[in-house]
Amino acid sequence: MWEYLSPVHPEGGINLPFLFTTSFAIGIVVVWRRYVDMQSRAVPFTWPAPEPSFLNWTSVNIRSPALTSHSVDPSLLPPNHIQGKKYITCFDPSNGLHIATIPADAEIDINIKIDAAKHAFESWKTSSFQARKRVIRSLLAWIVREREMLARVCCRDTGKTMIDAALGEILTTCSKMEWLLAQGEAALRPSKRTTPMLLIHKTAKVYYEPMGVVAAIVSWNYPLHNVLSPIIASLLAGNTIVVKCSEYVAWSSTYFVGAVRECLTACGWDPDVVQLVVCYPEEAEALTTSPDIKHITFIGSETVGKKVAQAATVNLTPVVLELGGKDPAIILPNTNLEQYASLWMRGVFQANGQNCIGIERFIVPVELHDRFLDIMESRIRKLRSGSVLTSSEEGYVSVVDNGSMISNARFEELERLIKAAERDGAEIVCGGERWQHAYHEDGAYFEPTLIGHANENMEIAQTEVFAPIMLVIPYDTIDEAISIANGSRYGLGASVWGPDQRECVSVGRLLECGMVSVNDFGVFYLNQDLPFGGVKASGYGRFGGPEGLRGLTNPKAVVEDRFPWLVQTSIPKTLDYPVRSLVQS
């Protein structure tokens, strides 16, 4: 029979059976690969760009804008508004332009959405990884195609810059999607476990099964990423999800989730797999206490996080909390300050300081302290604040380094903390106050601030400011620097900088936090193969990486016979119930 495995016939000439068999096999492989490719490739869909996302879009200017501005000016309400129903006023915080006024969900609305997600779970939980990844791949293709428009949507709703949107929204979201597509399925595949000698005739596996309807309550600082990140992870895990967005980004979140639902429809799935809740905090308990919610991911403040965790105890719902941070950057002796100055500026002023892993404390050797202040001051004083979605009559767009804050609600508290630090001996090198923009009187701007000669006992050194404030604390010894870094009640992220990488890693290992970057800023989040989360008052649990993905499933241990036809567990007669006698047993 071996002659048929050769392309040459034993008697000479071409071996036709061999060529036919080979061609047939190749054809099957090609057809199968083409079929798999067709079932996996991204499905194109359209979701029109919203008008407020365009440059120089104009609207009514709200004086002293707030979420409830419609109660002061009823003209901001939609024409078909319902008496007695709550609404949320959406506005551009960089200039006060009215974007929309959106109905706020009541408890009954939230329950309806949870129920819809519960019914959609029955079909979604049986979906294949191929189908789930196709939805994610379709979303990724849409984001890449519409990246500039999506960045403008984020800028309009938060007042951030296009660079901040590109780095913090588009890049991070695409990175997470690419990791889920490449590694997510492997993380959720059944994993084999070892068995002891006593169970040598058994095999053990852990299956990661969908939980059901999960919830995500997310913050406003990265509206695209914070909404999509829990959605895509939950979808790959086989769950349906209800996302509760921040009221401050209700408009953009509604747009983003609408696109996800459109994508699900285009891929042939029920759009009710993903739900969005837009409500005020007092109604959110309908979500956190629902018996149909099987897991909660919370991203926000420590105060609200504690309330969420307490509410979740009603049904013993597991919770992942990502709360505040007071991330330190320890600069070791002999560090080249000019080499890392740009990274430090990005670490503080990205998203105008409204970044959970932003650098809030620079712990600097006393001999480098003054030089550090000089380098930073020369840069900070040149920062320009404004709106990136406004251009001149000639069409020129102003160069903006810092956008606006999300609102001016915390300005008084920030000014109090800064003045208290000054009274306690700190030096306010520059900034320190709210700032009035010449052309955007109703914009929420705070001066980029540099504070030197601070110490760890100051209130500002222990409070998360979440603002464009660079705080510098001098130290004498490395042990003191580690003590200062660990002296905060928070423990989210940290960074260590110096010429000796081994020393940096050694110092980083001694820090009480969830993540550390060495000679870099925030890269532990760009690597989506890593778990994200903190310790102490920064929360507990992790999202991201295999740990976070598996956390959205029910691990089920299954033990079965290795050779059921050969050997199975049996009970010796002396141990069998009922036991014959005490002597025999």
Task: List, by residue number, the catalytic residues.
Answer: 322, 356
What does DSSP assign to residue 510? Answer: T
> E strands of 128-200, at which residues?
191-193
466-to-30, 46, 424, 460 alpha-carbon distances in Å: 55, 36, 21, 11
State the DSSP H helix or E strand holding residue 535, giving kind and residue range, or none if neither: strand 535-536
Q: In terms of C-beta density within 10 A (0-12 exposed, 13-18 middle, 19 or more buried), how is residue 10 classed?
A: exposed
Instruction: Identify the three-state secondary structure at position 320.
Output: strand
Instruction: Identify the three-state secondary structure at position 422.
Output: helix
Q: Which of 237, 236, 240 is nearest to 216 (CA)?
A: 240
Provide the token pair at 241.
């999800």
365-to-452, 497, 498 alpha-carbon distances in Å: 12, 11, 11
261 vs 479: CA distance, rounded Å: 52
119-122: long-range contacts (C-beta < 8 A, 24 or more apart)? Answer: 119/272, 120/240, 120/270, 120/272, 120/273, 121/210, 121/212, 121/213, 121/239, 121/240, 121/273
Other CB atoms within a 10 A radius of the CB of residue 555 amount to 11
551 vs 570: CA distance, rounded Å: 36
**To 5 degrees, how large is the angle CA 373–CA 375–CA 377?**
65
The answer to whether the CB of 514 falls within 8 A of the CB of 547 is no
What does DSSP assign to residue 12? Answer: S
